[in-house]
Amino acid sequence: MKKYINYITALAFSTFITTGCSDSFLEVDSPTQETIEDYFTTEARVYEALIAAYDPLQWPDWSMGQYNPINIMSDIMADDIWVGGSDKNDNQYWHLMMDYSALPTNCMTGLWTVAYSGVKRSNDVRTYIGWAQANMSTESQRLFEAEARVLRAFYYNLLWKFWGNLPFYMENLTMPYIATQVSADEVYQTIITDLEDVLAMNVLPMKAATSDYGRVTKAMSYMLYTEMVMYQNDNTRYPKALGYMTEIINDGSYDLMEDYALIFDERGEWSKESIWEINYKDDNAARSWGNPTFSGGTVLPRLISPNGWIDGTKDHDNGWGFCPVRQETYDMFEDGDTRRDATCFNAAANGSYNPRYQDTGFFLEKYSARTGNNADQIADADLNWNNNLRIYRFSETLLNAAELIARGAGSGDASAYLNRVHQRAGLTDIVEPTIDNILHERHLEFVGEGKRYWDLIRSGKAAQTLVPDVYGYRTKSWTESKKYLPIPQSEIDAAQGTLTQNNY
């Protein structure tokens, strides 16, 4: 059984009733219901709100009527996987995103709503701390506030990378609930400065205790900070980011797993390599099609495994045939690179299945539907696989440090950092720590983990790499005007003329 913090279904905060009337004789105290201000007056209840702020982390794979697993939604716009499914109309907005043709009326809306839900709940925590501070220890106030602010930064990071120019607020909105839209650069500056302030508080542990796996840590915050700084190409902050990476490396709390394939096995969850994961479980998992935001598992393995596969064959189960791995992805690995088979499940060579659109015979092994991994769920088996989503790993810390040194951020052994990752994969040669070599190592290391698309953009390689393919699947090239997705039309309409649409 997994032993770590499980995100719970959100408290029904809307049921806390407040009353308001100008005539005092009409003001009645309810004997059975508390106002929200009266409820959040103890440390235990603020902790409930903090857990609720973590809750949306689980939702993107399926909620709000869409499949939006955060690793896949960027990877389909890169060059490692296809979209798949039954045809190009199956999850049609995925296919449009892959071809840089997303429309405001046919685009990714679910992740937008999920991330803003996380922002709102993170802001709630800070408000409730103010109400409950007389009944909270100073230590808990500072810890909960730091966690909430880092979570808010994580949610905004998703919104910032996908949409750029955002309706933005650091305190929750009041009627009519319309936020000022700010530029992507302004979003970045506000969030990165806030992260610096949080880290200066120095209240987060470098690594969580076993019972707290899933909560944000100093190391996770360092990784989030460095991801944002590198994506922004903010060389003024490169030295600070390198310092954070070096601190993680030298701390000794994290290290590389010897067996790359084991990282993505259930036995590898929260291993010494794992800096942060989003928790999913099948033990008594109650997530269902009727209640997709209940605590439980993930639908990702079902989405991306071969359709019609006979359950149990080679310890794999049936899936829906989305996201076949490209032949070119399999071919880029050298012979002897242990990451190849740990990344690419060769279904065509190991069993029979129903080939679907864009089939290559290869599927993403890292998050495949492994037999037994949803055995203990109690609701809908499709939605309750126990595969934790790996967000930050120690190998990325090493490669971040190597790249920052190569970019002139400071001193350090970039070659040693790069080659620790390279040689862990079973390769014995020495790789020179050039920018191109480091980016290539990231490509090999993080297939299917939601890194590649952003790496291509920040390195200036997207326009030359993301071009029409020989198969006729991708017909358009990526351009700078396609950096941001169109804002959902429903949001444009609701904003009453205050939002400017992105180019698309």
Work out the pLDDT band at 17, boundaries 50, 70, 90.
very low
Residue 402: per-residue pLDDT: 99
Place of tokens 């296809």: 82
Work out the pLDDT band at 484, boundaries 50, 70, 90.
very high
Q: What is the mean pLDDT of residues 325-338?
A: 98
Residue 252: count of CB within 10 angstroms of its CB: 10
Residue 111: per-residue pLDDT: 98
% pLDDT > 70, the chain: 94
Residue 173 lies in a domain: yes
The sign of the dihedral angle between the CA atoms of 21, 25, 26, 27 is positive
Q: What is the mean pLDDT of residues 143-152?
A: 98
Candidates 268, 270, 256, 263; CA nearest to 4 is 270
Residue 145 lies in a domain: yes
Residue 25: per-residue pLDDT: 30
Residue 130 lies in a domain: yes
Q: What is the mean pLDDT of residues 159-174?
A: 97
Residue 5: per-residue pLDDT: 55
Candidates 272, 291, 275, 285; CA nearest to 387 is 285
CA atoms within 13 A on the CB side of 239: 3
Encoding tokens for residue 126? Answer: 């800070």
Encoding tokens for residue 298? Answer: 């993930």
**Residue 462: strand, helix, or coil:** helix
Q: What is the mean pLDDT of residues 266-275?
A: 97
* Residues 310, 316: Cα–Cα separation, whole Å: 8
Work out the pLDDT band at 404, boundaries 50, 70, 90.
very high
**Cβ–Cβ < 8 Å for 320, 307:** yes
Q: Write phi, then psi, for 129 (nearest 5 degrees).
A: -60, -40
Residue 31, preceding peptide bond in cis (omega within 30° of 0): no
The number of domains in the chain is 1
Amino acid letter for position 113: T
Q: What is the mean pLDDT of residues 195-202?
A: 98
Q: What is the mean pLDDT of residues 186-197?
A: 98
Q: What is the mean pLDDT of residues 220-249?
A: 99
Check whether 16 has a pLDDT greater than 70: no
Q: Domain holding 51: CATH number?
A: 1.25.40.890
% pLDDT > 90, the chain: 93
Per-residue pLDDT tens for 84-101? 999 999 999 999 999 999
Residues 6 or more apart whose CB falls under 8 angstroms from that of 460 comprise none
Check whether 292 has a pLDDT greater than 80: yes
**Residue 172: strand, helix, or coil:** coil
- Give, in order, the Cα–Cα distances in Å from 249 to each of 23, 259, 269, 285, 391: 64, 19, 20, 36, 17
**Residue 150: strand, helix, or coil:** helix
In terms of phi and psi (left: phi > 0; alpha: psi -120 to 50; beta: otherwise), the region of 431 is beta
Per DSSP, 503 falls in state P
Residue 355: per-residue pLDDT: 98
Work out the pLDDT band at 7, boundaries 50, 70, 90.
low
**Residue 213: strand, helix, or coil:** strand
Check whether 219 has a pLDDT greater than 50: yes
Residue 19: per-residue pLDDT: 25
**Residue 389: strand, helix, or coil:** strand
Candidates 387, 391, 377, 357; CA nearest to 74 is 391
Residue 37: per-residue pLDDT: 93
Residue 2 lies in a domain: yes
- Residues spanned by the domain of 113: 1-8+34-68+108-203
Residues 6 or more apart whose CB falls under 8 angstroms from that of 122 comprise 53, 148, 149, 151, 152, 155
The answer to whether the pTM exceeds 0.85 is yes
Work out the pLDDT band at 27, boundaries 50, 70, 90.
very low
* Residues 502, 504: Cα–Cα separation, whole Å: 6
Q: Partners of 392 in the beta sheet?
A: 276
- The DSSP secondary structure of 5-31, one letter per residue, reads ----PPP-GGGS-----S-GGG----S
Residue 199 lies in a domain: yes
Per-residue pLDDT tens for 443-453? 999 999 999 99
Per-residue pLDDT tens for 337-394? 999 999 999 999 999 999 999 999 999 999 999 999 999 999 999 999 999 999 999 9
**Cβ–Cβ < 8 Å for 56, 155:** yes
Per-residue pLDDT tens for 271-281? 999 999 999 99
Residues 6 or more apart whose CB falls under 8 angstroms from that of 114 comprise 56, 59, 60, 63, 64, 68
Residue 21: count of CB within 10 angstroms of its CB: 9
Residue 3 lies in a domain: yes
